[in-house]
Structure 1
Amino acid sequence: MTKSELVSAIAEKAGLRKKDAEAALNAFLDVVTETLKKGDKVEIRGFGTFLMKERAARVARNPKTGKEVKVPPKVVPDFKPGKDLKEATEKILKKKK
């Protein structure tokens, strides 16, 4: 699903104009981004948690040359799904089997 498709789905589900749904989605994304930049997490009970995660330094290999490359540690955004989201998606996978 693309952002424009998400905006359309939100507008339809909430009974909003697309312009209002897009403004709400953009505001949500801005707040999550700003919160993560501060090093805090965003927890939406039942849905999941957006947080920053530290990746340790490691040695990787350049696939083209085979030469080892040192990759420095870095902090990356992460998402941990909540209980309700996990249960909902597990049901979908069980239906496909």
Structure 2
Amino acid sequence: MTKAEFIEKLALKGETTKRQAAEALDLVFSTISEELKKGEQISVPGFGKFSVVKRAARTGINPRTKKKIKIKATNAPKFSAAKALKESVK
């Protein structure tokens, strides 16, 4: 499902316009991004938890040249699905 298809479905289910559904969706995603940038966690009961994980610096291998390269430490977003969501997709 594309973002446009998702927005259309939200608009139908929410009995609203596509523009309002798109604005709401963008607001949700931007808020999640802002909170993750701060290092916060977002828990949505019955859906899941968004968090940030720290990946340590490590040594990797360039597959083309087979030379070792240093990969810097970084932060990455993580989503853990709630039990209710996992069970609903079985």
- Using structure 2 for the length normalisation, give the TM-score: 0.94
- Matching residue of 2:24: 24
The runs of 5 or more residues in structure 2 that have no matched partner are none
How many Å separate the matches in 1 of 2:4 and 2:53? 28
- Identity %, equivalent residues: 39
Pairwise mapping of residues 83-94 of structure 1 onto structure 2 (< 5 A)?
A: 83-89=83-89, 91=90
Query: Distance between the aligned counterparts of 2:32 and 2:87, measured in 1?
Result: 24
One-letter code aligned to 1:69 = I
In structure 2, give the amino acid aligned to 1:75.
N
Instruction: Tell me the equivalent position of 2:58.
Output: 58
Q: CA deviation at 1:73?
A: 1.1
Q: Which amino acid aligns with 2:17?
A: R
Q: How does 1:1-97 map to 2 (within 5 A)?
A: 1-89=1-89, 91=90
Aligned length: 90
Aligned-partner Cα distance in 2 for 1:2–1:61: 35
- Write out the 4+ residue segments of structure 1 that deviate beyond 3 Å after TM superposition: none
User: What SS is found at the alignment partner of 1:54?
Assistant: strand
How far has the Cα of 1:31 moved from its partner?
A: 0.8
- Backbone CA RMSD of aligned residues: 0.9
